[in-house]
A and B are shown apart, each in its own frame.
Chain A
Amino acid sequence: MDLDERARRWERRRDRLINVASPLGLVLAWEVAAQLGLIDTRFFPAPSSVAVALLASVHSGELANHVLMSLQRLFIGFVLGGVPALALGIVMGISRPVRAFIDPLIAATYPIPKSSIMPLILLVFGLGEGSKIIMVAIGVFYPVAINATAGVLQINCIYLDVGKSFNAGRWDTFRTIALPGALPFIMTGVKLGVGLGLVLIAVAEMVGAKSGIGYMIWSAWETFSVERMYVGLFAIAMIGFALTAALNEIERRIIPWKADS
Chain B
Amino acid sequence: MSSGGPPVSAARDPAKIRIGHLTKRFGSQIALDDISIDIAEGSFFVIVGPSGCGKTTLLRILGGLDAMTQGTIEIRGAAAGRPQHSIVFQGDSIFPWMTVWDNAAYGLRMRKAPKAETDAIVEHYLDRTGLTRYAHFYPHQLSGGMRQRVSIARAFANDPEILLMDEPFSALDEQNRTILQQELLRIWEDDKKTVVFITHSVDEAVTLGDRIMVMSASPGRAKIVIDVPFERPRNVLELRQDPRYGDIVYRIWGYLKDEVERARS
Q: Measuring CB to CB, which residues of chain A are less than 8 angstroms from any residue of chain B?
A: 158-159, 161-168, 172, 176-177, 180-181, 183, 255-259
Lowest 3 A-B CB distances belong to which pairs?
A180-B97, A257-B138, A166-B110
Q: Are A181 and B97 in contact, with the CB atoms below 8 A? A: yes
- Pick out which of these stretches binds chain A: B84-92, B215-223, B225-233: B84-92
CB distance from A2 to the nearest CB of B (A): 11
Q: Using Cβ atoms and an 8 Å threshold, which residues of chain A touch B95?
A: 159, 162, 176-177, 180
CB distance from A220 to the nearest CB of B (A): 47
CB distance from B142 to the nearest CB of A (A): 11
Interchain CB contact (< 8 A) of A257 among B85, B87, B139: B139
Interchain CB contact (< 8 A) of B86 among A165, A176, A180, A258: A165
| Cα distance, A165 to B107, chains bound together (Å) | 9
- Per the CB 8 Å criterion, the residue count for chain B at the interface is 23
Q: Are B86 and A166 in contact, with the CB atoms below 8 A? A: yes
Q: Are A158 and B140 in contact, with the CB atoms below 8 A? A: no
Q: Are A159 and B138 in contact, with the CB atoms below 8 A? A: no
Main SS of chain B's interface residues?
loop
The yes or no answer to B6 lying at the interface (CB within 8 A) is no
| Cα distance, A166 to B156, chains bound together (Å) | 12
Name 7 extra pairs, CB < 8 A, besides A162-B106, A255-B97: A162-B89, A165-B87, A166-B83, A167-B83, A180-B95, A183-B97, A257-B139
The yes or no answer to B7 lying at the interface (CB within 8 A) is no
| Cα distance, A187 to B87, chains bound together (Å) | 32
A161 nearest CB neighbor, chain B only? B65
CB distance from A165 to the nearest CB of B (A): 5
Q: Using Cβ atoms and an 8 Å threshold, which residues of chain B touch A172?
A: 110
Q: Would you mind naming 22 contact pairs between A and B with Cβ atoms under 8 Å apart?
A: A158-B92, A158-B93, A159-B93, A161-B87, A162-B89, A164-B65, A165-B87, A166-B106, A166-B107, A166-B110, A167-B83, A167-B111, A172-B110, A176-B98, A176-B106, A180-B97, A180-B98, A183-B97, A255-B97, A257-B97, A257-B139, A258-B140
